[in-house]
């Protein structure tokens, strides 16, 4: 065996999968084969066994196999070492430096931070919370105040509309050919009288309740205390004052929510009473039509339509309140048409009676009554004479 065969005992291009020689072993083997040649090394001409190298290259070429026929590497073999990636090594170094820097900065900050600084940050956060909470509380109180005024105005408008529509002058007391009723004219009810009284009482009670709702007072204005940034005692006292202010704001906010809930419940109850009143109009329209059967059909249809409009309207709006006035006008027109028909019939009756009287008078003149000879004609008895001729007098 040549010296190269002793260096590569497993033959050309053979790879040992289980035994890996370290660098010290390789150095020792090379020393045994060639000796320590470093002292005589000629840097201009590298010493080598030329014939041995040529033989090894030829033997490796004859034993070479295609890559596709090479047996797969066993799972227990060692992976070949990868070449080092300079970019990855550089990035890893930068990351390590950043971590070290962050740790150093954090350590410095932790070492230099004082409890007063932390407390001051808490104080500033509480002061911002106070500002936003105070603004929200003021906004809620303002909205409720406007809502109370608006609800009272709507209730007042409904009360006025119901009062105007509850009755009207009796068309029978308005002289024919005139439109204005005399001061002594009778009044006729419009709609259900009991339902009208009930809703007017509900309006009065609701407005009284609205005036009884009281909003809580705003907490005293919060003033930021002047504190020394490096004084933990001053900052702690300011934090206590801020917490007391936040507690007062929370208490007032809870009371405002309670008032708002009570207002909503009362508003819902009043809306139910108004809806109950509006639902009575279809029945009231039927009653009005039955009481005025001789009016024209167009007036009856107008009353029915106006009653349905009231029943389907929100009477707490301007448009809803207007439906009450429309129903009143339709009901008055229905009654007026009934009066017109009755007046026509009365006029026709008087004219007929007058014609009959005139006919009797004409016949009496044409056929006078002639008394018999020797018969005394007694004067006709006056029907207005209170005395009876057969009754004795002087009593």
Q: pLDDT tens digits, residue range 238-256?
A: 888 889 989 999 999 999 9
Burial of residue 59 (CB within 10 Å: 0-12, 13-18, 19+) is middle
Domain boundary among 347, 369, 385: 347
Domain membership flag for residue 222: yes
Q: In the predicted model, what is the mean pLDDT of the chain?
A: 75
**What pLDDT is recorded for position 262?**
95
Residues 199 and 125 in one domain: yes
Q: What confidence category does residue 59 fall into, taking pLDDT thresholds of 50, 70 and 90?
A: low
Please tell me the least confidently modeled range out of 1-10, 306-315, 334-343: 1-10
Answer yes or no: is 214 within a domain: yes
Please count the CA atoms within 13 angstroms of the CA of 331 that sit on its side-chain side: 31
Question: Are residues 188 and 170 in contact, defined by beta-carbon separation less than 8 angstroms?
Answer: yes
Domain assignment of residue 330, yes or no: yes
For the ranges 83-87, 127-131, 176-180, the one whose mean pLDDT is highest: 127-131
Q: What is the mean pLDDT of residues 92-114?
A: 44
- Secondary structure of the chain as H, E, C letters: CCHHHHHCCCCCCCCCCCCCCCHHHHHHHHHHHHCCCCCCCCCCCCCCCHHHHHHHHHHHHHHCCCHHHCCCCCCCCCCCCCCCCHHHHHHHHHHHHHHHHHHHHHHHHHHHCCHHHHHHHHHHHHHHHHHHHHHHHHHHHHHHHHHHHHHHHHHHHHHHHHHHHCEEECHHHCCCCCCCCCCCCCEEECCCHHHHHHHHHHHHHHHHHHHHCCCCCCCCCCCCCCCCCCCHHHHHHHHHHHHHHHHHHHHHHHHHHHHHHHHHHHHHHHHHHHHHHHCCHHHHHHHHHHHCCCCCHHHHHHHHHHHHHHHCCCCCCHHHHHHHHHHHHHHHHHHHHHHHHHHHHHHHHHHHHHHHHHHHHHHHHHCCCCCCCCCCCCCCCCCCCCCCCCCCCCC
- Does residue 332 sit within a domain? yes
First-to-last alpha carbon distance for the chain, in angstroms, is 194
* Sign of the alpha-carbon torsion through 206, 208, 209, 211: positive
Report whether 115 contacts 233 (CB < 8 A).
no
User: From CA 245, how far away is CA 44, in angstroms rounded?
Assistant: 93
pLDDT at 42: 46
- Within this chain, do residues 197 and 259 fall inside the same structural domain, yes or no? yes
Q: What band does 220 get if pLDDT is binned at 50, 70 and 90?
A: confident
Residue 30 in this model has a pLDDT that exceeds 60: no
pLDDT on residue 172: 86
* Res. 28: pLDDT tops 70: no
Indicate if 211 and 338 belong to the same structural domain: yes
* 137 in the same domain as 12: no
Residue 182 placed within a domain: yes
Q: Is residue 95 part of a domain?
A: no
Integer Cα distance of 57 and 216 in angstroms: 104
Does 208 or 382 have the greater pLDDT score?
208
Write down the pLDDT at residue 302.
96
pLDDT tops 60 at residue 395: no
Residue with tokens 């002639």: 370
Q: Which of 67, 86, 101 is the last residue before a domain boundary?
A: 67
Residue in 255, 267, 229 with CA at minimum distance from that of residue 117: 229
Residue range 345-393, pLDDT digits in tens = 988 999 999 999 998 888 888 887 666 665 555 555 555 454 544 444 4
CA 73 to CA 333: how far, in whole Å? 111
Residue 270 confidence (pLDDT) = 97
63 and 158 belong to one structural domain: no
Residue 300 has pLDDT above 90, yes or no: yes
Task: Give yes or no: residues 181 and 34 share one domain.
Answer: no
Closest CA to 47 of 61, 58, 33: 33
Residue 90 has pLDDT above 70, yes or no: no
Long-range contacts of 282-287 (CB under 8 A, 24+ apart): 282/307, 282/308, 282/311, 283/192, 284/191, 284/192, 284/195, 285/327, 285/331
In the predicted model, is pLDDT for residue 149 greater than 50? yes
Q: Do 60 and 128 have their domain in common? A: no
**Residues in contact with 380: Cβ distance below 8 Å, sequence separation at least 6, in sequence order:** none
Q: Based on the domain organization, do 145 and 241 belong to the same domain?
A: yes
Is pLDDT above 90 for 155?
yes
Average pLDDT over residues 194-211: 96
Q: Within a domain: residue 154? A: yes
Instruction: Residue 42: give the domain boundaries.
Output: 3-67
Residues 61 and 125 in one domain: no
Q: How far apart are CA 72 and CA 69, in angstroms?
A: 9
pTM to 2 decimal places: 0.58
> Quick one: pLDDT at residue 36?
53
Mean pLDDT of 112-141: 82
* Res 196: pLDDT: 96
What is the average per-residue pLDDT within 38-55? 47
Asked whether residue 393 is assigned to any structural domain, the reply reads: no
Residues 159, 253 within the same domain: yes
pLDDT at 371: 64
**Least confident span in 45-54, 132-141, 158-167, 356-365:** 45-54
pLDDT of residue 288: 95
Domain shared by 163 and 281, yes or no = yes
How many independent structural domains does the chain possess? 2
Shared domain check, 259 and 185: yes
């Amino acid at each position: 065996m040549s010296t190269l065969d002793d260096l590569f005992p497993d033959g050309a291009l053979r790879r040992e999968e289980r035994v890996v020689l370290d660098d010290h072993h390789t150095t020792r083997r090379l020393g045994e084969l060639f000796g320590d040649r470093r002292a005589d090394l000629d840097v201009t001409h590298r010493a080598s066994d030329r014939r041995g190298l040529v033989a090894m290259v030829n033997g490796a070429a004859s034993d070479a196999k295609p890559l596709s026929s090479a047996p797969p590497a066993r799972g227990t073999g060692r992976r070949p070492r990868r070449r080092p990636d300079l970019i990855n090594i550089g990035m890893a170094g930068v990351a390590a430096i950043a971590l070290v820097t962050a740790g150093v900065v954090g350590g410095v900050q932790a070492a230099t931070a004082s409890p007063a600084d932390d407390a001051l940050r808490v104080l500033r956060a509480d002061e911002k919370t106070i500002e936003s909470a105070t603004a929200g509380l003021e906004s809620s109180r303002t909205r409720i105040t406007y809502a109370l005024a608006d609800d009272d105005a709507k209730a007042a408008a409904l009360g006025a509309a119901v009062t105007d529509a509850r009755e009207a002058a009796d068309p029978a007391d308005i002289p024919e050919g005139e439109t204005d009723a005399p001061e002594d004219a009778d009044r006729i009810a419009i709609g259900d009288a009991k339902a009208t009284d009930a809703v007017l009482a509900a309006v009065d009670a609701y407005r009284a309740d609205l005036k009884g709702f009281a909003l809580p007072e705003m907490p005293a204005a919060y003033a930021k205390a002047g504190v020394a940034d490096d004084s933990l005692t001053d900052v702690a006292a300011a934090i206590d004052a801020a917490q007391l202010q936040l507690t007062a704001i929370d208490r007032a906010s809870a009371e405002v929510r309670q008032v708002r809930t009570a207002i909503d419940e009362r508003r819902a109850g009043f809306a139910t009473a108004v809806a109950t009143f509006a639902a009575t109009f279809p029945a009231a329209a039927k009653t009005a039509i039955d009481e005025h059967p001789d009016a024209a059909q167009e007036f009856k249809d107008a009353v029915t339509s106006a009653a349905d409009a009231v029943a389907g309207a929100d009477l707490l709006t301007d448009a809803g309140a207007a439906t009450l006035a429309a129903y009143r006008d339709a009901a008055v027109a229905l009654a007026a048409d009934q009066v017109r028909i009755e007046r026509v019939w009365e006029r026709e009756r008087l004219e007929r009676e007058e014609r009959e009287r005139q006919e009797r008078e004409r016949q009496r003149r044409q056929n006078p009554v002639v008394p018999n000879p020797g018969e005394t004609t007694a004067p006709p008895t006056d029907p207005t004479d209170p005395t009876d001729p057969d009754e004795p007098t002087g009593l």
